[in-house]
Amino acid sequence: MSNVSYEDRLKELGFILPAPPKPVANYVPVVRVGDLLFLSGVLPSRDGRLVLTGKLGENLTVEQGVEAARVAVLNGLSIVRSEAGSLDGVKQIVKMVGYIASAPGFTDQPQVLNGASDLLVSVFGEAGRHARVAVGAAELPRLAPIEIELIVELRSS
C-alpha cells in the first residue's frame, strides 16, 4: 500500500477507532503468541452499548448487518491498536470468523460479513485479505446481531 500508513488510511476513509471494548466476563480481549494476536469475540458496540440487537432475516436487514459488522471490526481494530501500539504494526489480517444471529432460512451470512471484510481490505490493502468463516447462529450474547473474532499477524519487532 505505498507509503501511506494504515492509521492514515483509516482516517482518510473517515473511520475513528473507539476505545477498546472491555470484557464482560472472565476472559481477556486479546492473547499474543509470538507475532500473532488472537482476539476474543467482538460485538458491534459503542460506549458499552450494542448499536443494534436482533437477528438477520427477522428484524434486521442485510444492510443493517453490514453496518454492525463494520462497527464490530472497528472495535476489533481498536484492540489490535491497543496491543500493537499502532495499526502500522500489522503485517497481515490472517483470519476472521463471523457469527451472525440468523432467523431460520436466512442464508446471506457471507454478505453481512463483507461489511467487515471490505473495511479490512480498504484499510490494509493486500495485507487485509484474509481467510474467513461466516456462520449463522441461533443466538448471540446480549442479543447482538454479529460477533467477530480475528487472528492478526504483527510485524516482527
Share the mean pLDDT of the chain.
96
Question: For residue 119, how many other CB atoms are within 10 A of its CB?
Answer: 22
Query: Could you report the per-residue pLDDT of 58-72, keeping only the tens digit for each?
Result: 999 999 999 999 999
Contact (Cβ atoms closer than 8 angstroms) between residue 145 and residue 54: yes
DSSP letter for each residue of the chain? -TT--HHHHHHHTT----PPPPPSSSS-SEEEETTEEEEPPB-SEETTEES--S-BTTTB-HHHHHHHHHHHHHHHHHHHHHHHSSGGGEEEEEEEEEEEEB-TT---HHHHHHHHHHHHHHHHGGGG--EEEEEEES--GGG-SEEEEEEEEEPP-
Q: How far apart are CA 71 and CA 124, in angstroms?
A: 17
Check residue 2 and give its pLDDT.
54
Prediction pTM value:
0.96
Q: How far apart are CA 45 and CA 123, in angstroms?
A: 20
Question: Which cell numbers in the block locate residue 137?
Answer: 447462529
Check residue 24 and give its pLDDT.
85
Check residue 4 and give its pLDDT.
82
Q: How far apart are CA 78 and CA 18, in angstroms?
A: 6
Question: Which cell numbers in the block locate residue 15?
Answer: 473511520
Query: Could you report the per-residue pLDDT of 128-153, keeping only the tens digit for each?
Result: 999 999 999 999 999 999 999 999 99
Using the predicted structure, report yes or no on whether residue 1 has a pLDDT greater than 50: no
Q: Which domains does the chain have, with CATH numbers?
A: 6-154 (3.30.1330.40)
